[in-house]
C-alpha cells in the first residue's frame, strides 16, 4: 500500500509548498475510517483512495482535490458523516467529497434504473465543481485497473459504462491520458481477442522493420537542428483501441493503415511550432487532407496542436503533432490544468479552458429534455465528434461536429433561426439543407416567417441542440393537432350516448385520469393514449354495456329482405357491411342473423355448414340513415396530416366514431377510422377524397378478425 511519505513526495515534485499537515490528517482520517475494510482483491480498502490520490498527483492538482481523493469513500462506505468531514477539513472539501459520493450512488442505481437518467444527474452534479469529475475519473481509472477481482458480468457492465460515459467525458474535458487508458482497459474486457490481435501485429511489424520509431525520431531531431529549433521529440505506437477504431471506421485491414506511428515535437514557443512544421514538410512529403491546425483554431476543450501526416522513412506514413510545452500540458491534462500547480504556485496556463461554460450550456439547453434516452444521445453527440469550423457572413467562427449541416449551423446561432430556416448558401451558392459542411466554409441561412421544422429534419442534423429543438417543436405542433383531434373524438364519443361535451365533464375526466388540466385529456385522446371509450367509461360507466364496449349505433333492428317478417339481422362487426355491399346472412342459434359482406374472410368458417347460410338483401327503404364501417389509412407521420384527414372526413358528411393506430413508425403510420356513413357510395367518396391527399399512400376498407371467436360460436 502506498505510504504517506511516498504520496507527499509525489505532491512536492510539483507543489513544494503543499500543506503537509492537511494531507497527513486526511491520510490518517481515511485510514482509520476504512480500518478493517477489504477490497474484493484482498487488499486493504484504503489502498484504493491512496491510488486515486496518486493518479491526481500526475495531473498536478491542488491540495483540496488530493484530500478529496483520500476521503472520497468515507461518507459512502464508513460511519463518517458529511458533518464529520466538514468539521475536520472545512466546507470546500466536504462539498467535494459529498459530490463524489452522489456520483458513486448514481453508479449503484444504474444497475436498476436507466443509465440515461443517471447521466443527466451526473452532468448537473459536476457542473457545480469540476474537481468532483476529476476525482470520479481517477476513481474509475483505478477501479478499471483492478477490475479483474469482480465477476465477469460486472466487468462487462463497467467496461460498457466506461466506454459510453467516462472515457468520452475525459476526452471532452481534454484529459487525453486518462481517456486513452480507460478506453484500452475497457477494450481489454469487451474485445480481448481484437486487442491481442493488434498487439501481435505490432510485434510482427517491429520485427520486420527493425523498430522504426528510434530511427524516425533521430531523423526529426536532425531536421529540427538544421533549422535551429531545439525541441523535445518523442515517438510511440498508437494505442490498440485507437488502431481498432481506425480499422472499424475506415473498413481497412491493419496492414493498410497508414499512421499507426505517432510522433510529438514539443517546442519552446508558438513561433517555433510553425518553424518545426516547415522543417518537417521540407524533409518529407505531406499527405494531402491530413493537416489540421488546432493552434489557430483550438478545440472547445482548449486543445492546441499542429497535426500533419507525412511519408517518412521507407515510405511509412507517420503522424506528427507539434505544440509548445504549455499546449502539451493542456493536451494531456485538459481541465485539470486549470487547477494545476508548478513550483508551489498555482500556474495560470494561458491555454487552459474552464469547461464550466460548456457544462452550463449543456444544462440550460438539454436539461429540460423529457426523454432521458434523448438526453444521453445528445450528450454523446456533444462528446464524441470532432469539430469543423465555419463562418457566418460577418466572419464569426462557429464550431460544429464533423458531419454537421446548414441546419446544425442555423440552430447553433439561435433556436428561432433554426426553426424558421428555409434554405442556405454555402460559400455564396445555394445548397441543400442536408449538405455536410467542411472546414472554412461561409454559411448564410435563409429564413421565412411561418416556417416550422419538419420531422425529416431530425435525420439531417447531428448536433444535440438541433435534434432537441426539432423534437421539441414537432412535439408542440403535434400536441396542437392532438388537442384539436381529441376534442372531436370527445364530442363524438359523448354524443353517441346522448351527452354533451362540457368543460366540467372534461375537468372530471382529467382528474380521474390524473392528467392535471383539461387540455391534457384532449391531447391524450388525439395521441391515442386513451380512447373515446375510456373517456365515456370514466364519466358514465353505467351506460357501458355488458361487453365493455361503448353504446354504438343500434344496428339490430334492420329488416333485411329474405328474412321472415318478424326476424331482423345485424351487420357483422368483423366486416361492417353498409348498403351497397353484397351480403349474406349467417344464422346464429338464439341470436338472430349476422349479416356479412360477401368477401368477409370469416365466412370460410361456415363453408361446411350450408344450412346456416341465408340469401338476404338490403331493404329498399333504409329506416336507418347511418351505418358503422371502418377504413384503414396509411399516411406520412408528419405534423398536421392526421388532422387534415379528419377534416376531409368531416367535409364528406361522416362522423368519426373512433380511431386506433395499427402501426406507428417514424416515417408513417396506419390508422383505422370507424365512421358513420350512409351507404357504399358514401364510403367510396370518403376514401377518394382521402386518397388524393399527397401525404396518403393507401386507403382501404378495414376488416377486423378480432371477432372470430364470437362468430365461431354461432354453430351452437
Look at residues 468, 375, 363 and name the one whose alpha carbon lies nearest to residue 126. 363
Quick one: cell of 559? 329488416
Catalytic residue among 43, 77, 374, 425: 77
Backbone angles phi, psi at 347, to 5 degrees: -95, 120
Q: What is the DSSP letter of 405?
A: -
* Element holding 311 (H helix, E strand): strand 306-311
Helix axis angle, 325-333 relative to 176-190, nearest 10°?
40
Separation between Cα atoms, residue 628 and residue 227, nearest integer Å: 91
Look at residues 289, 188, 190, 205 and name the one whose alpha carbon lies nearest to residue 239. 188
Q: Count of alpha carbons within 13 Å of 329, Cβ hemisphere only?
A: 21
Query: Is there a catalytic annotation at residue 181?
Result: no
Catalytic residue among 43, 76, 221, 293: 76
Q: What is the DSSP letter of 305?
A: -
Separation between Cα atoms, residue 646 and residue 649, nearest integer Å: 5
Separation between Cα atoms, residue 431 and residue 446, nearest integer Å: 11
3-state secondary structure of 550: coil
Angle at 316 between CA 312 and CA 318, to 5 degrees: 65
Phi-psi region of 526 (alpha: psi -120 to 50; beta: other; left: phi over 0): alpha
Quick one: cell of 329? 500540458
Q: Any bridge partners for residue 635, and if so which?
A: 669, 696
Alpha helices in 13-60 (DSSP H): 20-33, 47-57
Query: Is there a catalytic annotation at residue 77?
Result: yes
The two most distant CA atoms of the chain are separated, in Å, by: 115
**How many residues appear in the chain?**
716
Residues 6 or more apart whose Cβ sits within 8 Å of residue 54? 2, 7, 10
Quick one: cell of 135? 476525482
Show which residues are catalytic. 76-77
Amino acid at each position: 500500500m502506498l505510504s504517506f511519505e511516498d504520496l507527499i513526495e509525489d505532491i512536492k515534485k510539483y507543489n513544494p509548498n503543499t500543506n503537509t499537515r492537511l494531507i497527513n490528517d486526511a491520510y490518517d482520517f481515511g485510514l482509520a475510517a476504512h480500518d478493517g475494510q477489504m477490497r474484493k482483491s484482498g487488499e486493504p480498502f484504503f489502498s484504493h483512495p491512496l491510488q486515486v490520490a496518486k493518479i491526481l498527483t500526475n495531473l498536478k492538482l491542488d491540495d483540496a482535490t488530493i484530500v478529496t481523493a483520500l476521503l472520497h469513500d468515507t461518507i459512502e462506505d464508513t460511519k463518517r458523516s458529511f458533518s464529520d468531514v466538514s468539521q475536520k477539513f472545512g466546507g470546500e472539501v466536504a462539498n467535494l467529497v459529498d459530490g463524489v459520493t452522489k456520483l458513486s450512488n448514481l453508479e449503484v442505481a444504474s444497475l436498476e434504473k436507466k443509465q440515461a437518467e443517471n447521466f443527466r444527474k451526473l452532468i448537473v452534479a459536476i457542473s457545480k465543481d469540476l474537481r468532483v469529475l476529476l476525482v470520479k475519473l481517477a476513481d474509475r481509472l483505478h477501479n478499471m485497473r483492478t477490475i479483474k477481482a469482480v465477476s465477469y458480468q460486472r466487468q462487462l457492465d463497467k467496461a460498457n459504462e466506461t466506454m459510453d460515459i467516462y472515457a468520452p467525458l475525459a476526452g471532452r474535458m481534454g484529459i487525453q491520458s486518462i481517456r486513452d487508458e480507460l478506453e484500452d482497459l475497457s477494450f481489454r474486457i469487451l474485445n480481448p481477442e481484437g486487442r491481442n490481435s493488434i498487439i501481435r501485429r505490432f510485434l510482427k511489424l517491429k520485427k520486420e522493420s527493425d523498430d522504426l520509431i528510434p530511427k524516425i525520431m533521430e531523423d526529426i531531431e536532425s531536421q529540427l537542428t538544421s533549422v535551429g529549433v531545439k525541441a523535445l521529440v518523442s515517438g510511440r505506437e498508437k494505442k490498440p483501441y485507437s488502431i481498432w477504431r481506425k480499422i472499424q471506421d475506415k473498413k481497412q485491414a491493419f496492414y493498410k493503415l497508414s499512421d499507426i506511428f505517432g510522433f510529438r515535437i514539443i517546442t519552446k514557443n508558438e513561433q517555433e511550432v510553425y518553424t518545426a512544421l516547415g522543417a518537417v514538410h521540407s524533409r518529407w512529403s505531406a499527405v494531402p487532407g491530413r493537416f489540421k491546425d488546432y493552434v489557430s483554431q483550438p478545440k472547445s476543450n482548449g486543445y492546441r496542436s499542429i497535426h500533419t501526416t507525412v511519408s517518412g522513412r521507407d515510405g511509412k506514413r507517420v503522424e506528427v503533432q507539434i505544440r509548445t510545452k504549455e499546449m502539451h500540458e493542456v493536451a494531456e491534462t485538459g481541465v485539470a490544468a486549470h487547477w494545476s500547480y508548478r513550483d508551489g504556485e498555482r500556474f495560470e496556463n494561458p491555454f487552459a479552458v474552464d469547461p464550466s461554460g460548456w457544462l452550463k450550456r449543456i444544462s440550460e439547453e438539454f436539461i429540460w429534455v423529457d426523454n432521458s434516452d434523448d438526453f444521453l444521445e445528445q450528450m454523446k453527440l456533444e462528446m464524441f465528434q470532432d469539430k469543423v469550423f465555419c463562418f457566418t457572413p460577418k466572419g464569426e467562427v462557429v464550431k460544429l461536429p464533423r458531419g454537421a449541416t446548414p441546419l446544425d449551423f442555423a440552430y447553433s446561432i439561435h433556436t428561432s433561426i433554426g426553426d424558421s430556416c428555409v434554405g442556405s448558401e454555402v460559400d455564396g451558392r445555394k445548397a441543400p439543407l442536408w449538405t455536410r459542411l467542411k472546414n472554412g466554409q461561409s454559411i448564410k441561412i435563409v429564413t421565412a416567417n411561418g416556417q416550422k421544422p419538419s420531422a425529416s429534419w431530425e435525420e439531417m442534423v447531428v448536433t444535440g441542440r438541433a435534434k432537441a429543438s426539432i423534437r421539441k417543436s414537432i412535439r408542440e405542433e403535434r400536441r396542437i393537432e392532438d388537442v384539436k383531434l381529441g376534442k372531436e373524438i370527445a364530442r363524438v364519443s359523448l354524443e353517441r350516448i346522448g351527452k354533451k361535451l362540457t368543460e366540467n365533464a372534461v375537468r372530471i375526466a382529467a382528474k380521474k385520469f390524473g392528467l392535471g388540466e383539461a387540455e391534457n385529456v384532449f391531447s391524450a385522446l388525439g395521441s391515442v393514449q386513451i380512447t373515446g371509450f375510456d373517456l365515456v367509461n370514466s364519466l358514465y360507466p353505467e351506460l357501458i354495456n355488458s361487453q365493455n364496449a361503448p353504446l354504438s349505433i343500434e344496428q339490430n333492428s334492420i329488416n333485411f329482405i329474405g328474412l321472415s317478417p318478424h326476424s331482423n339481422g345485424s351487420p357483422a362487426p368483423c366486416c361492417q357491411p353498409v348498403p351497397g355491399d353484397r351480403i349474406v346472412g349467417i344464422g346464429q342459434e338464439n341470436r338472430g342473423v349476422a349479416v356479412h359482406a360477401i368477401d368477409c374472410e370469416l365466412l370460410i368458417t361456415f363453408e361446411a355448414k350450408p344450412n346456416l347460410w341465408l340469401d338476404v338483401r338490403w331493404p329498399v327503404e333504409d329506416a336507418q340513415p347511418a351505418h358503422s364501417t371502418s377504413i384503414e389509412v396509411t399516411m406520412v407521420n408528419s405534423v398536421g396530416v392526421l388532422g387534415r384527414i379528419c377534416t376531409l372526413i368531416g367535409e364528406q358528411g361522416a362522423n368519426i366514431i373512433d380511431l386506433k393506430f395499427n402501426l406507428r413508425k417514424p416515417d408513417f403510420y396506419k390508422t383505422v377510422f370507424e365512421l358513420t356513413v350512409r351507404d357504399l357510395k358514401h364510403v367510396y367518396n370518403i376514401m377518394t377524397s382521402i386518397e388524393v391527399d399527397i401525404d396518403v399512400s393507401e386507403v382501404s376498407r378495414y376488416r377486423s378478425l378480432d371477432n372470430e371467436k364470437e362468430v365461431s360460436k354461432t354453430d351452437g
